[in-house]
Amino acid sequence: MNNTFLVFDFGNNEEAAQLARHKLDGWRQAFRLDKKLQFKFDRAEGSGDGAGPKDGSKGKSAAKGKAKASEEATEEPAKSGNIKLLVRLYFSGHEKLSHQRWVDRIPGEEPFKSAAPRMIKQVETDFRATEEKFQDLE
Q: What is the DSSP string of 55-72?
A: B-S--S-HHHHHHHHHHH
What local confidence, expressed as pLDDT, does residue 62 receive?
44
For residues 96 and 44, give the distance between their C-alpha atoms in angstroms, rounded to a whole number: 34
What local confidence, expressed as pLDDT, does residue 2 receive?
82
- pTM across the whole model: 0.74
For residues 15 and 25, give the distance between their C-alpha atoms in angstroms, rounded to a whole number: 15
What local confidence, expressed as pLDDT, does residue 81 receive?
78
| Contact status, residue 116 vs residue 6, Cβ threshold 8 Å | no
Domains of the chain: residue spans and CATH = 2-46+55-136 (3.30.70)
For residues 72 and 75, give the distance between their C-alpha atoms in angstroms, rounded to a whole number: 5
Q: What is the pLDDT along the chain (138 residues), one digit of tens a residue?
A: 789 999 999 999 999 999 999 999 999 999 999 999 999 999 976 544 444 444 544 444 444 454 444 444 444 444 557 999 999 999 999 999 999 999 999 999 999 999 989 999 999 999 999 999 999 996
Query: What totals of helices (H) and strands (E) does the chain contain, helices first?
Result: 5, 4
| Contact status, residue 11 vs residue 83, Cβ threshold 8 Å | yes
Residue 134's SS3 state is: helix
For residues 91 and 77, give the distance between their C-alpha atoms in angstroms, rounded to a whole number: 34
What local confidence, expressed as pLDDT, does residue 31 receive?
95
Q: Kindly list the strands in the beta sheet with 37-43, ordered across the sheet, starting from the edge strand earlier in the chain.
A: 37-43, 83-91, 2-11, 118-121
